[in-house]
Amino acid sequence: MFSKTSLLLAMLGLGLVMGTLPKVKLPTTPKIHRLEQQTELLSVQNPVATQMCFGFYGPILNNVSTTYEINYSVCANNYEMASQNIYCRWNSTLVGLSHDGDSGCNTFVDCATIVDYVEAFECFARVGAQESKTMYSISANATQIAATIQSDLLLLESRRDVCVNDAERDFVEDTASTYEHLNACLNGAALPNEPVSTERPSTTEIPDTEGTTGFRIYWN
Ligand SMILES: *[C@@H]1O[C@H](CO)[C@@H](O)[C@H](O)[C@H]1NC(C)=O
Ligand SMILES: *[C@@H]1O[C@H](CO)[C@@H](O)[C@H](O)[C@H]1NC(C)=O
Ligand SMILES: *[C@@H]1O[C@H](CO)[C@@H](O)[C@H](O)[C@H]1NC(C)=O
Ligand SMILES: *[C@@H]1O[C@H](CO)[C@@H](O)[C@H](O)[C@H]1NC(C)=O
């Protein structure tokens, strides 16, 4: 029988399936990789400068990483909350459909075991299509609902992807530029004058020849 319990279980399962992004990983690019290798070489060659340069630029690199992690989790949390909203908005409809199904027949039993939200509604649509007029009405509604949920979720996903991409771009640009300054420091360039937070080192500026249009993320 298509019980309310199994339906809610299916929906809870959905809550677990939706809204989860992989655990945050720091993005990297070939350019950052190259700069890191350069840093390693330079710090071996200039042990005296190393401590001073890392003392100054290390916290900045940490700050850039932490900022990225925070921004990333904002993107993930916003997506999570919004998809939970969709889930709540359609909950009563789904429970209502299950009641209609119960009064008709037991053919919806298989739908109850489906964990994915969209698939569950599509299951209603498929099974309902073979049944009475009531079932046909459920089928038509369920088809409509499945399509609506699907497009709502797609919209949320693309918003999340734009959000994550912005955070990644910030991270990659800030990391690369900090490594450039760190490497310049290891090469003997002076540290920027205090106060640090408002001033960017300018004497050792290295032009970003790769620009931003060819920006590409490579995951570790
Ligand atoms: C990074 O540094 C800025 C400026 O010093 C500061 O306002 C911000 O809170 C720092 N962020 C983190 C995550 O430490
Ligand atoms: C979904 O609806 C059912 C029945 O109205 C209710 O018992 C349940 O708490 C709801 N679940 C959520 C997550 O809102
Ligand atoms: C289908 O949706 C219409 C309006 O959206 C509603 O009046 C009708 O009761 C629904 N049918 C079923 C079987 O839930
Ligand atoms: C990341 O967060 C910082 C503040 O923590 C903010 O200044 C910056 O605009 C955010 N970047 C993006 C891409 O959201």
| Span 28-64, pLDDT tens digits | 999 999 999 999 999 999 888 999 999 999 999 999 9
**Dihedral pair phi/psi, residue 196, rounded to 5°:** -75, -40
* Rounded average pLDDT over 165-183: 96
Cβ of 63 closer than 6 Å to ligand 4, yes or no, is no
Q: Which ligand is nearest to the CA of 168?
A: 4
Q: Which ligand is nearest to the CA of 59?
A: 1
The Å distance, Cα 25 to ligand 1 centre, comes to 20
The Å distance, Cα 92 to ligand 2 centre, comes to 7
Q: Is 165 a residue whose pLDDT tops 50?
A: yes
Of 47-61, 100-114, 165-179, 205-219, the one with minimum mean pLDDT is 205-219
Cβ within 8 Å of residue 193, ≥6 positions away: 199
Encoded tokens for 159: 């918003």
* Rounded average pLDDT over 96-116: 56
What pLDDT score was predicted for residue 213? 36
What one-character-per-residue DSSP string does 158-199 give?
HHHHHHHHHHHHHHHHHHHHHHHHHHHHHTTPPPPPSPTTT-
Of these ranges, 83-87, 112-116, 158-162, 192-196, the one predicted with the greatest mean pLDDT is 158-162
Please name the residue whose Cα sits nearest to atom 7 of ligand 1.
197
In contact, 174 and 182? CB cutoff 8 Å: no
Q: Which ligand is nearest to the CA of 195?
A: 1
Ligand 1 site, CB within 6 A: 63, 66-67, 197
Cβ of 138 closer than 6 Å to ligand 3, yes or no, is yes
pLDDT in tens, 199-217: 444 444 444 444 433 333 3
Mean pLDDT taken over the chain: 73
